[in-house]
Structure 1
Amino acid sequence: MHRPSRTTSLALGALLAASALTTSAAVAADADSLLKAPLQGSILSDPPLFGVVRGGAPWMISSGEAKVGTDGTVKVTVSGLLIPGVGVGSVRTLSASLACNGMIVATTAAAPFSSTGDAQIKDTVNLPDRCLAPAVLINPNGNTGVYIAATGR
């Protein structure tokens, strides 16, 4: 059996220590994050979520992410959220509803939604004292009773 040299062992130890520090820093940086999750477009077979129904058409998304801070900051980035063969239809603005504890607890102000399916939502909302199982739903034209995208996979 071949034993690693002392230099190799020291290098490996330093690499593992650096990796642990990097991981610790990443965890510490996310300590103020309540939610950071990708977005998925809604499809016609999606169920109601938190009393909110999915849109009446399938929505496909190129990429999207929702971030919610423990201070109530909400940042959502949406790229290429479109109905195949249609585009964005009559949707001109998007808002984001935050669900905690199985119900919608807050909704952001509406943000412009481009004809190419892009939007950025930045707002601050009031959070409940406890927010279990957080999720974000994307609402078209300020309609909080409908979602066209949601956090998840």
Structure 2
Amino acid sequence: MKTILRRTAVAAAVVLTVGLIGAPAAFAHGEHEHGGGGGRTILSAEVAGSLTTDQKLFGTVAPGGADWVIDNGEARLRRDGRVDVRVEGLVLTSTGANPVMQLSASVACNGAVVATTAVVPFSATGDAKIHATVTLPQRCIAPVVLLNPRGNPAVFIGVTGTEG
């Protein structure tokens, strides 16, 4: 009888230990959906340049007045509102240059723009980095990051997505 109880106790200890060891890894990787997760990434995507033929997004945000192309860009949005954007070579297709000296990022959730960052410097070669925190709604369904020339949230020259 003691042997059976001892084996049961050892088995329970092993199960408990494995459960405790595995749990922190799940929390650290953002796999736990409830009870915090403020730093959990909700969007990590490439950035594409806008085209004049692109449709208005969310019914109000129009593409820039010229076609834009990008060498490399990515945007990351976290549940706590942290926005990180890096673009390299976001320039006009026609000239290969960037005539805009300031850039901001707008975040859309649930089919509408909900926040816009402050402007950052935007180089003539089309390079910029945005690190900001915005306020997101309680639920942010289908998040999108838009890049706005001169901080104008009604126009986008870059958007999360891929070019064909």
TM over 0.5: yes
- Rounded to whole Å, the distance in 2 between the matches of 1:29 and 1:39 is 23
How far off is 1:99 after superposition?
A: 0.3
2:151 is matched with 142
1:58 matched to 2:103? The reply is no
- Rounded to whole Å, the distance in 2 between the matches of 1:114 and 1:59 is 15
Match of 1:44 among 33, 42, 52: 52
Larger radius of gyration: 2
- Rounded to whole Å, the distance in 2 between the matches of 1:108 and 1:145 is 13
Contact 2:70 2:90 in 1 (8 A): yes
Cα RMSD after superposing both structures = 1.8
- Which whole-Å deviations, capped at 9, do the CAs of 1:90-110 have from their partners, x for residues lacking one? x11100000000000001111
1:28 is matched with 29
1:88 matched to 2:89? The reply is no
How far off is 1:143 after superposition?
A: 0.9
1:78 is matched with 87
Instruction: State the number of aligned residues.
Output: 129
Q: Which amino acid aligns with 2:29?
A: A
- Rounded to whole Å, the distance in 2 between the matches of 1:85 and 1:104 is 29
- Which whole-Å deviations, capped at 9, do the CAs of 1:95-131 have from their partners, x for residues lacking one? 0000000000001111100011000000000010000
Taking only the aligned residue pairs, the percentage that are identical comes to 50
1:13 is matched with none
Structure 1 residue runs of 5 or longer lacking an equivalent are 1-20
- Which whole-Å deviations, capped at 9, do the CAs of 1:36-69 have from their partners, x for residues lacking one? 0000000111000122000000000001000011
How far off is 1:29 after superposition?
A: 5.3
Which runs of 4 or more aligned residues in structure 1 lie more than 2 Å from their structure 2 counterparts after TM superposition?
none
